[in-house]
Amino acid sequence: MTRIAVIDYDRCNPDKCGNFLCERVCPVNRMGGEAIVIDEENYRPVIQEASCTGCGICVHKCPFNAITIVNLPEQLDEDCVHRYGINSFVLYRMPVVKDGMVVGILGPNGTGKTTAVKILSGQILPNLCGDNKSWDSVIKAFRGNELQNYFEKLKNGGIRPVVKPQYVDLIPRAIRGRVEELLRKADDRGTLKEVVEELGLGNILDRDIKQLSGGELQLVAIAAALLRDAHFYFFDEPSSYLDIQQRLKIAKIIRRLAESGKAVLTVEHDLAILDYMSDIIHVVYGKPGAYGIFSKPKSTRNGINEFLSGYLKDENVRFRPFEISFTKKSERKSQEGEILVQYPRLVKDYGSFRVEVEGGNLHIGEVVGIVGPNGIGKTTFVKMLAGVEKPTEGEVDWNLTVSYKPQYIKVDYEGTVFNLLGKIDASKLMSSFYKSELLNPLGIPELYDRQLNELSGGELQRVAITACLIRDADIYLLDEPSAHLDVEQRLAVSKAIRSLMAKNDRTALIVEHDVMMVDYLSDRLIVFDGEPGKAGRALPPMGMREGMNRFLSSVGITFRRDPDSGRPRANKEGSVKDREQKERGEYYYTIP
């Protein structure tokens, strides 16, 4: 076995732990050895992997959870691609990049996807976990691998990469000006007009980048990447903030880009979209922040199914102790539950936009999904229920308490995650029920010491969801809880919401675009339709089958079920299944 010790120096605080606690408790050091030494210059501990016995005492004693020690099979050593430095993250193996193909990457955040892309785009020269300083050695190390050729071209300057970044919400901080200016600068291929039309950006060309919504920023960032003339395109989470129709549209455009001969790599956490978009898939697994391993390339279907099962066949590796499976709808009884409240017909008229929602019932213990295109009034409806927005017609005069997680999370609290959550309800943080159903599955205790304003997008999302769910309320409203979360986190959130509502006899309404998550979460659906940006309407909550059929027929997409995992899969447009299902009006297969 090879031992890897990783220290997260952002967490390590030698003054607060009691003067290098790890060094003082390490049995090797206590016996006069040197498994942990102090780097005086940087005032931090360093673990010498060759002397460390892997006892794990420092890992448990460090009050800030800054240390990870793992033992990995020795055979992996020869596949070590890059290590940022001593006691830092290690990347093993790489994804393939192929002209004419969309290669999808599936795995948790913090396992080296961005590192791999930086290598493929030439921003990082991989050190091969030693002191390598030349591309020639990299080429040698990848001899016989599909990447050998690629690295040769990269070395000779023959690869031009383009990257669509993950956090599009950060774009306005880096780039100023109008949308059109930004796109004109990117237009290497002279295809501005076509791309603008295809992505429906005509109406926002004059807008300042600062004024754009998350979905608009995403489309502009994708457009800017498509306009570039490059060899290798990387799309990091292209679906965030987009509705399902936009997701499928960009998936098709990305496919077409590959079909024109370009090499495309993408990280996507919406499984239905990843499935639709990719030719092959790499699963990346490991321990976030410590190490990541790219699997062999797999067919899209097998890759996703193996990921869900937690077991990689070719590699003979179990990377998760449990399987993720999709519950059979027939097991769900909550829609037959007692009625909690009847909400009235509600209308909001902003002048340029009007939304009308018919009244309906909400049951105790149920989760209601809210689906529909962007700009159709879903957030406005949720805000009216939350009491944040006053209806133009109708009144929410129920005597119920509401807990609300908005779509865009603002940080207006100075302090740690623990302080914030403790102020809401400290007893829930101690409760074994909340620990096992919510806090541990969402990885919240690891974030307790962190300052709220230092969290990444995904960390902030998990904290905001937790803050919403630990508040005592009759109704929980969560607007797009999946944004910035990876697949496992999405499923953990879905499970937590379902379990808390069922066990506490509460009710939740969730606005969501990820079809797999909607499927996993919801007992019933409220479906919005109309003309985005102009007028929206919604009927009362309806059953999953009826709701999904109504929703998907309005966007013209059919889904089938994977026979092994039970997950929903989008049919390719015009395929036999797509045509058959459309003829029968069966856009969505529920498990009988």
Q: Which residues bind ligand ADP (CB under 6 A)?
A: 84, 88-89, 109-115, 289, 350, 353, 374-380, 533
Q: Per CB under 6 A, which region of 17-25, 108-116, 318-326, 399-407 contacts ligand SF4?
A: 17-25
187 three-class SS: coil
Nearer to ligand SF4, 19 or 123 (CB): 19
CB of 107 vs ligand ADP, minimal distance in Å: 7
* Distance of closest approach, residue 230 Cβ to ligand ADP, in angstroms: 20
Nearest to 215 by CA among 264, 249, 188, 192: 249
The contacts of residue 308 (CB under 8 Å, 6+ apart) are: 323, 324, 325, 565, 567
58, interface contact from ligand ADP, ligand SF4, none, CB < 5-8 Å by kind: ligand SF4
Give counts: helices (H), strands (E), the chain. Answer: 21, 28
Q: Which does 565 bind (CB under 5 to 8 A by kind): ligand SF4, ligand ADP, none?
A: none
Residue closer to ligand ADP (CB basis): 361 or 407: 407
Give the 3-state DSSP-derived string for 406-453, with helices as H, strands as E and coil as C: CCCCCCCCCCEHHHHHHHHHHHHHHCHHHHHHHHCCCCCHHHCCCEHH
Please say which residue, 26 or 119, places its beta carbon nearer to ligand ADP: 119
Q: With respect to ligand SF4, which residue has the nearer C-beta, 14 or 566?
A: 14
Choose among ligand SF4, ligand ADP, none what residue 102 binds, the Cβ cut-off being 5 to 8 Å by kind.
Answer: none
C-beta separation of 107 from 292 below 8 A: yes
Cα–Cα distance, 487 to 437 (Å, whole number): 18
Residue 22's binding partner among ligand SF4, ligand ADP, none (Cβ under 5 to 8 angstroms by kind) is: ligand SF4
3-state secondary structure 78-91: HHEEEECCCCCCEE
Contacted by 375, from ligand SF4, ligand ADP, none: CB < 5 to 8 Å by type: ligand ADP
Alpha carbon distance 498, 512 (integer Å): 14
> Which partner from the list ligand SF4, ligand ADP, none does 47 bind, CB cut-off 5 to 8 Å by kind?
ligand SF4
CB nearer to ligand ADP: give 62 or 186: 62
Binding to ligand SF4 by residue 4, rule CB under 6 A?
Answer: no
Which uninterrupted H or E stretch holds 104?
Answer: strand 102-106
Residue 301, Ramachandran bin (φ over 0: left; ψ between -120 and 50: alpha; else beta): alpha
Residues binding ligand SF4: number (CB under 6 A):
26
Report whether 291 contacts 70 (CB < 8 A).
yes
CA atoms within 13 A on the CB side of 216: 19
Binding flag, residue 400, ligand SF4 (CB under 6 A): no
Give residues 25-64 in contact with ligand SF4 (rule: CB under 6 A): 26, 28, 35-36, 45, 47, 52-58, 62, 64
* Part of the chain binding ligand SF4 (CB under 6 A), chosen from 18-26, 396-404, 526-534, 584-592: 18-26
User: Does 69 help bind ligand SF4 (rule: CB under 6 A)?
Assistant: yes
Please, what's the b/e burial string for 77-91 (b: 16 or more CB within 10 A of its CB; e: otherwise)? eeebbbbeeebbbbb
Beta carbon of residue 306, minimum distance to ligand SF4 (angstroms, whole number): 32
110, interface contact from ligand ADP, ligand SF4, none, CB < 5-8 Å by kind: ligand ADP
Residue spans of beta strands (DSSP E) within 218-279: 232-236, 263-267
For ligand ADP, give the closer residue by CB, 533 or 566: 533
Q: How far is the CB of 117 from ligand ADP (least distance, A)?
A: 8
Q: Closer to ligand SF4 by CB, 5 or 500: give it.
A: 5
Rounded Cα distance, 228 and 231, in Å: 10
Residue 530: beta bridge partners? 536
At closest approach, how far in Å is the CB of 293 from ligand ADP? 12
Give the angle 294-297-299 at the CA atoms, nearest 5°. Answer: 135
Binding of ligand SF4 by 559 (CB under 6 A):
no
Cβ proximity to ligand ADP, 24 vs 550, nearer residue: 550
Is the Cβ of residue 83 or residue 582 nearer to ligand SF4 in the bound state? 83
CA 239 to the chain's CA centroid: 9
Task: Using the minimum distance from each CB to ligand SF4, give the nearer residue, 55 or 388.
Answer: 55
Q: How far apart are CA 161 and CA 152, in angstroms?
A: 15
Q: Does 448 bind ligand SF4 (CB under 6 A)?
A: no
Angle between the 244-259 and 214-227 helix axes, to the nearest 10 degrees? 10
In contact, 511 and 468? CB cutoff 8 Å: no
Cβ-based nearer residue to ligand SF4, 64 or 520: 64
290 binds ligand SF4 (CB under 6 A): no
Q: Pick one of ligand SF4, ligand ADP, none as the site partner of residue 112 (Cβ within 5 to 8 A by kind).
A: ligand ADP
C-alpha dist (Å) from residue 354 to 158, 372, 438 = 53, 15, 37
Q: Can you name the residues that pair with 318 across neighbouring β-strands?
A: 311
What is the number of other CB atoms lying within 10 angstroms of the CB of residue 60? Answer: 10
CA distance 90 to 74: 14
20: contact with ligand SF4 by CB under 6 A: yes
What minimum distance in Å lies between the beta carbon of 577 and ligand ADP? 29
Q: Which stretch binds ligand SF4 (CB under 6 A): 12-20, 265-273, 421-429, 535-543?
A: 12-20
Which of the listed partners (ligand SF4, ligand ADP, none) does 289 bind, with a CB threshold of 5 to 8 Å by partner kind? Answer: ligand ADP
Q: Which stretch binds ligand SF4 (CB under 6 A): 15-23, 318-326, 379-387, 389-397?
A: 15-23
Angle ∠(551,556,561) on CA atoms, nearest 5: 75
CA distance 259 to 236: 19
Encoding tokens for residue 504?
């506490």
CA separation for the pair 509, 98 (Å, rounded):
42
Helix (H) or strand (E) holding 555: helix 544-555
- Closer residue to ligand SF4 (CB): 87 or 379: 87
Which CB, 374 or 581, lies closer to ligand ADP? 374
Q: Closest separation between CB of residue 284 and ligand ADP, Å?
A: 7
Burial label, 224 (beta-carbon count in 10 A; 0-12, 13-18, 19+): buried
Least distance to ligand SF4, CB of residue 32, Å: 13
Would you say 7 or 138 has its CB closer to ligand SF4? 7
Task: Give residues in contact with ligand SF4 (CB under 6 A).
Answer: 7, 12-14, 17, 20-22, 26, 28, 35-36, 45, 47, 52-58, 62, 64, 66-67, 69
